Amino acid sequence: MSYALSVNPIVFKERNNAYTLNDDQVAVSRFKRILEEWGVQPALWANILVGISIQTIEAPEQKLDQRLTPDQRERLFLVASYDDALKALFLQEQHRREWIQNKHQSLDGYSPLDILTCGSLLAMDELNDYLQRIIRS
């Protein structure tokens, strides 16, 4: 019996092993910049990037002293993907901020920020799929 996997485990492992500490520091810096643009309060940053302190997110070049886990790296990729999608949908930063912060009926009355901070990587992935469908439509 065979199963259809959405992730090739070997490719996933090789991709994550290729990232350096410096790559992770750069990614965390971008994560911080994106969340600041969206108006997300620093107190919530660690809820999105589970296992990394606010202090490390604020100064990754100084505080991040080990590589991120694949889970943490995936969260960074998803936030960057949301940012790219929102920039394609909304020209003004204020509109992107409002979309992230406001509750949406199409998200069962939750805001994207609620989804980002709930701690579920699956929910974050579903939000990314939702945004990608909007862009394709």
Q: What is the pLDDT of residues 117-132, one digit of tens each?
A: 999 999 999 999 999 9
Question: Which percentage of the chain shows pLDDT scores above 90?
Answer: 84
Residue 4 lies in a domain: no
Mean pLDDT score, 45-60: 92
Predicted pLDDT of residue 60 = 87
Closest C-alpha among 113, 117, 72, 74 to residue 96: 113
Alpha-carbon distance of 44 to 79, in angstroms, equals 14
Length of the chain measured in residues:
137
Owning domain of residue 14 = 9-136
Residue 23 lies in a domain: yes
CB neighbours of 31 closer than 8 A, spacing ≥ 6? 45, 49, 57, 76, 79, 80
Q: Number of structural domains, the chain?
A: 1
Residue 3 lies in a domain: no
Residue 21 lies in a domain: yes
C-alpha 82 chain-centroid distance: 7
Residue 33 lies in a domain: yes
Closest C-alpha among 133, 134, 113 to residue 124: 113
Residue 2 lies in a domain: no
CA angle, residues 24, 59, 123, in degrees to nearest 5: 55
Alpha-carbon distance of 124 to 133, in angstroms, equals 14
Q: What is the pLDDT of residues 82-126, one digit of tens each?
A: 999 999 999 999 999 999 999 999 999 999 999 999 999 999 999
Residue 14 lies in a domain: yes
- 26 by Cβ neighbours in 10 Å (0-12 / 13-18 / 19+) ranks as middle
Alpha-carbon distance of 48 to 114, in angstroms, equals 10
